[in-house]
Amino acid sequence: MIHSARIAIAAPLALALAACGETTDVDERVVETPELETPTDVTLPEVEVEYPEVPVNARTSVDYAGTYELRTSDDQVSTIVLEEGDTYVWRAPDGTETRGSFTWGEDNSRILIERDGETQAYAVAENVLYRLPAADAPTAGERSEETTWRRSTPAAAEAGSADTSGE
pLDDT, tens only, 59-117: 999 999 999 999 988 889 999 999 989 999 999 999 999 999 999 999 999 999 998 88
Q: Please give the pLDDT value at position 22.
A: 60
- CA atoms within a 13 Å half-sphere pointing along the CA-CB vector of 106: 4
% of the chain surpassing 90 pLDDT: 47
For 114, residues 6+ apart whose C-beta sits below 8 A from its C-beta are: 100, 120
Residue 160 belongs to a domain: yes
pTM, two decimal places: 0.65
Task: Give the CATH number of the domain where residue 70 resides.
Answer: 2.40.128.640
Higher pLDDT, 135 or 167: 135
Residue 151 belongs to a domain: yes
Q: 151: helix, coil or strand?
A: strand
Measured in Å, how far apart are the chain's first and last C-alpha atoms?
Answer: 123
User: What average pLDDT does range 116-139 have in this prediction?
Assistant: 93
Q: Please give the pLDDT value at position 158.
A: 45
User: What average pLDDT does range 129-135 have in this prediction?
Assistant: 94
Residue 15 belongs to a domain: no
User: What average pLDDT does range 45-57 have in this prediction?
Assistant: 86
Amino acid letter for position 70: L
**Sign of torsion over alpha carbons 121, 123, 124, 126:** negative
Q: Which of 2-6, 98-102, 143-147 has the highest mean pLDDT?
A: 98-102
Q: Please give the pLDDT value at position 1.
A: 52
Containing structural domain, residue 141: 60-165
Number of structural domains, the chain?
Answer: 1
Query: Which of 52, 72, 48, 77 lies closest to 63, judged by CA?
Result: 52
Amino acid letter for position 11: A
Contact 69, 149 (CB under 8 A): yes
Residue 17 belongs to a domain: no
Q: How far apart are CA 60 and CA 103, in angstroms?
A: 14
**Sign of torsion over alpha carbons 61, 62, 64, 66:** positive
Q: 153: helix, coil or strand?
A: coil
Residue 53 belongs to a domain: no
Residue 48 belongs to a domain: no
Q: Please give the pLDDT value at position 161.
A: 43
Contact 108, 58 (CB under 8 A): yes
Is the pLDDT score of 27 beyond 80? no
**Sign of torsion over alpha carbons 80, 85, 163, 160:** negative
Residue 51 belongs to a domain: no
Residue 133 belongs to a domain: yes
